[in-house]
Structure 1
Amino acid sequence: MLKTCLTAVRGPAVCVGRCFSREVSGAVSTLAGFSSPPFSTEASLYVHWPYCLKRCSYCNFNKYIPGSDKQDVMLECLQRETETSLKLSQVSRITSVFFGGGTPSLARPSTIAAVLETVARHAGLSEEAEVTLEVNPTPVGSSKLEDFLHAGVNRFSIGVQSLRDDGLKVLGRDHNSQHALQTVAEARRLCPGRVSVDVMFGRPGQSVASWELELDELLSVCDDHVSLYQLTLERGTQLFRQVQKGQLSVPSDDITAVMYESARRILQKRGYLQYEVSNFARNGAISQHNMSYWKASQYLGVGPGAHGRFVPHGEGGVCREARTQTLEPDVWVREVQQRGHGTRRRIPLTHLGLLEEVLVMGLRLVDGITHQHWQLFNPRADLHQILSSSSEVQDLQQTGLLILDDRGLRCSWQGLALLDSMLPTLLLLLEAYTQGLQEQQARGATIGDQRDGGQRVSKPG
């Protein structure tokens, strides 16, 4: 169960709600007054740079090896789609920006600056807004950090993944441990307290002892934020095929569970507080951008394959939509040039779909979901009313995995690692609650029809 919980949150390609059963329906909620989230003029922005110099052996993210120089056309189209998204959402303030990929540190710093200028021109972007850039820790990536800082970036997320050169080779990374250490040191010099490091466990040939030693070494040089991810074997990747053929072996689920628990203890001992399933911070250095996902806030997605969740007020919309941009960069470019955006799919979120996202994403947080936060999205019934009478929820509470009290709903220390095993139960209870409201509403409508003699009576003009 741990493997899915520790899926990397790389931009807003977030699998929630119906991913645990069936896909969210495209129909708009029929529950009166509950078809849209609380009104907000704010949103965060995710910008996807789809290109890499090479594909890592484990990676199935939306990334491509460019056959020619794409810098100019990407600059043009990222600016245009950003402008379109801001006008469509009518947000007046962007709270954070995250440049992910792919390898966004391959983009020119002037491209990053131009996107930020577009945001500032069409919506507010304060000087304090968190602006994160994912960085591949190669000599080329490290040499451009200062230029990115001048372009407006104020936080770096560095894909170290491992400090073992043999491990990096297996993963197909194009950096070595010395490159990683040098990049982290340079980033810390430029942005002290605002550097995050990604590290991966469950790699081929890794033991609990070697993992603990490696993590301890990393923590002696890294900054105030660490993201911890378990290697996931994805179909279609080179690493998946190597393991299937018996050329490599990965630790068992029981071993990776021990690795996760030992990492949590080591990080805590070194002063890093866990605030989400995969994320740890000290000195208050939490990722403000990712918090917007976990708090089910609005976010705009720009670039090939980016995801977004926002209300399209510019089209007269009142419901939040789940939007996905066209995956393939060349096709996305043509669409943006023709119509200003490359939106491939848009699904109006039902009331149930929205609550599922609040539940699934919120429970990733150590603090969980407060009653006040839940009320923003569902003022009709609180979490106690929906969940507390369930025998399954009572069992989860008695076994010490789930906490439902006056603060709200959250996982215990042990429960956070087992979140995926609890979500199907909680989602079914949520679905039963919304179905009950719909049936209650339908019965009320039927009674109204009967009082009107079987038909609606129009009042005279």
Structure 2
Amino acid sequence: MIPSGAQARSWVASVRATRRRPRVDSPGQSPSPERACRRAALYVHWPYCEKRCSYCNFNKYIPRGVDEGAMRNCLVTEAQSLLRLSGVQRVESVFFGGGTPSLASPHTIAAVLEAVAQAVYLPADSEVTLEANPTSAPGPRLAAFGAAGVNRLSIGLQSLDDTELQLLGRTHSVSDALQTLAEARRLFPGCVSVDLMLGLPGQKMDQWLGQLQELLYHCDDHLSLYQLTLERGTTLFTQVQQGTLPAPDPELAAEMYQEGRAVLREAGFRQYEVSNFARNGALSTHNWTYWQCGQYLGIGPGAHGRFTPQGDGGHTREARIQTLEPDNWMKEVILFGHGTRKRVPLGQLELLEEVLAMGLRTDVGITHQHWQQFEPQLTLWDVFGASKEVKELLAQGLLLLDHRGLRCSWEGLAVLDSLLLTLLPQLQEAWQHRTLLPVSGR
């Protein structure tokens, strides 16, 4: 059931009365295990787009017509069901992704937020992010999303070159992008993130660095750099396979990434995650939940989640995936209250592998306190302290293992995938022999 207009206005009014949360350069301490299982982030998937970009293989659809009222009802119902099932008492952040969620009406955004606020505690200063494409988010529409409760925007610029935008199948021009960005910064000062892609077919280093430098004149305090991945089934993949486009040069892409992160560091941005850069404390707290292996609920067609179904008497964290196709998903939500298609219980080793791989994506890495919340017996020193291979990585200056925990150096963040080839087997071996290893107590 959708909240009434008066109910929706009540949460929005409390949001407006709350000052924007002061941003900090480093996240706070991780909550205790007992508190952590009672809180979560919420991801809401809007599956529709105006057109499919040439590089995209996400779960999105180009509909002839959308019954938004039906979709809104189902998003609200599934949010209520999964919150009840999870036993979560507090939602830390909400992220509307897709698809193109800026195609949804502000009323839909407000209805979902109010449903969450009625089911659990949703602080008025919680981070509420909306992904937006320039052509679907003119200034008045952005203002309406702000009135609905959105307080952070993530804008998919991808490029500041019109030829590259056409190659990527984007519907906007550079002029559209910069105009939308200016409006977004006016309405959401300090809370606008932009994406820039690198490693496109035929892309040149100097041209791309020129785009990045230009973007620094226009962007806010958060920027993401993403390397193009050619996904099977996409138009770009087919064009490269057929030889109509040159294959991206991975060595050039790696060089672009290195040069780009150096430029951003010089401009005062902190690389707080492999692909994400922030200044003035403008980190994405929602994404930080993913990297810290916190709980998150995914609602909407094809959404993913990770949580323990405490409300159903469960004690094991599960990986959950909702039904992909929107019409089938809505039918299941109407019948069962949610459209969960797949549930996979996560074993303790699987969870520790996620803690390791996700935590090392950040510049903070994995603190001893954070690790012990997931594995109180086997310490980071036990797993990695005596490893010859790990000692070599430490000597090379790619890793650090000390009183703070385990983390990558600035140089190590750039080659994390290769480091995990050493670290994950080491964790697996230590786990297999954990009963034979003494507990160091450090």
In the superposition, the TM-score normalised over structure 1's length comes to 0.86
Structure 2 match to 1:204: 201
CA–CA distance in structure 2, aligned partners of residues 438 and 341 of structure 1: 41
8 Å CA contact 1:305–1:326 kept in 2: the answer is: yes
Displacement of 1:38: 7.2
Residue 176 of structure 1: which of 173, 181, 189 is its match? 173
| Code of the aligned partner of 1:330 | D
Displacement of 1:50: 0.6
CA–CA distance in structure 1, aligned partners of residues 66 and 425 of structure 2: 49
Structure 2 match to 1:459: none
| Code of the aligned partner of 2:403 | D
Corresponding residue SS for 1:432? helix
Equivalences for residues 25-424 of structure 1 within 5 A:
39-138=36-135, 140-424=137-421
8 Å CA contact 1:206–1:250 kept in 2: the answer is: no
| Code of the aligned partner of 2:84 | K
CA gap of 1:384–1:147, structure 2 versus 1, over 3 A, is same
| Code of the aligned partner of 1:243 | V
Moved over 6 A (4+): none
CA deviations on 1:90-136 (whole Å, 9 max, x unpaired) are 11110000000000000010000000000000001111100000001
CA–CA distance in structure 2, aligned partners of residues 142 and 54 of structure 1: 21
CA deviations on 1:277-296 (whole Å, 9 max, x unpaired) are 00000100000000000011
Structure 1 match to 2:11: none
Unaligned runs of 5+ in 1: 1-35, 441-461
| Code of the aligned partner of 2:406 | L
CA deviations on 1:305-359 (whole Å, 9 max, x unpaired) are 1111111011100111111111111111111010000101111111101111110
Structure 2 match to 1:32: none
8 Å CA contact 1:106–1:141 kept in 2: the answer is: no
CA deviations on 1:44-66 (whole Å, 9 max, x unpaired) are 00000010010000000110111
CA–CA distance in structure 2, aligned partners of residues 344 and 199 of structure 1: 33
8 Å CA contact 1:207–1:251 kept in 2: the answer is: no
| Code of the aligned partner of 1:407 | R
Q: Percent identity, please.
A: 59
| Code of the aligned partner of 1:73 | A
Corresponding residue SS for 2:294? coil
Number of residue equivalences: 405
8 Å CA contact 2:36–2:294 kept in 1: the answer is: no
8 Å CA contact 2:102–2:136 kept in 1: the answer is: no
CA–CA distance in structure 1, aligned partners of residues 66 and 252 of structure 2: 44
Displacement of 1:201: 0.7
| Code of the aligned partner of 2:373 | L
Further displaced range: 131-140 or 168-177: 131-140
Displacement of 1:69: 2.0
| Code of the aligned partner of 2:261 | R
CA–CA distance in structure 1, aligned partners of residues 346 and 399 of structure 2: 27
| Code of the aligned partner of 2:135 | T
CA–CA distance in structure 2, aligned partners of residues 231 and 415 of structure 1: 21
Corresponding residue SS for 2:218? coil
Higher RCO (Cα < 8 Å, 6 or more apart): 1
CA–CA distance in structure 2, aligned partners of residues 397 and 279 of structure 1: 24
8 Å CA contact 1:139–1:183 kept in 2: the answer is: no
Displacement of 1:402: 1.3
CA–CA distance in structure 1, aligned partners of residues 34 and 211 of structure 2: 44
CA gap of 1:377–1:244, structure 2 versus 1, over 3 A, is same
Corresponding residue SS for 2:420? helix
Further displaced range: 269-278 or 245-254: 245-254
8 Å CA contact 2:399–2:412 kept in 1: the answer is: yes
Corresponding residue SS for 1:138? helix
8 Å CA contact 2:137–2:180 kept in 1: the answer is: no
CA gap of 1:138–1:437, structure 2 versus 1, over 3 A, is same
Corresponding residue SS for 1:48? strand
Unaligned runs of 5+ in 2: 1-32, 438-442
Corresponding residue SS for 1:420? helix
Structure 1 match to 2:18: none
| Code of the aligned partner of 2:215 | L
Corresponding residue SS for 2:369? helix
CA–CA distance in structure 2, aligned partners of residues 70 and 387 of structure 1: 54
CA gap of 1:188–1:62, structure 2 versus 1, over 3 A, is same
CA–CA distance in structure 2, aligned partners of residues 44 and 85 of structure 1: 12
8 Å CA contact 1:46–1:300 kept in 2: the answer is: yes
CA gap of 1:365–1:83, structure 2 versus 1, over 3 A, is same
8 Å CA contact 2:130–2:154 kept in 1: the answer is: yes
Displacement of 1:381: 1.9
Displacement of 1:413: 1.5
CA deviations on 1:71-104 (whole Å, 9 max, x unpaired) are 1111010000000011001111100000000000
Displacement of 1:415: 1.2
CA deviations on 1:346-394 (whole Å, 9 max, x unpaired) are 1111110111111010000011111111111111021011111111111
CA–CA distance in structure 2, aligned partners of residues 220 and 136 of structure 1: 20
Displacement of 1:250: 4.1
Displacement of 1:262: 0.6
Corresponding residue SS for 2:37? coil
CA–CA distance in structure 1, aligned partners of residues 321 and 265 of structure 2: 37
CA–CA distance in structure 2, aligned partners of residues 203 and 297 of structure 1: 33
CA–CA distance in structure 2, aligned partners of residues 49 and 139 of structure 1: 14
8 Å CA contact 2:134–2:177 kept in 1: the answer is: yes
Displacement of 1:206: 1.1
Further displaced range: 386-395 or 183-192: 386-395
Corresponding residue SS for 2:403? coil
CA–CA distance in structure 1, aligned partners of residues 55 and 394 of structure 2: 37
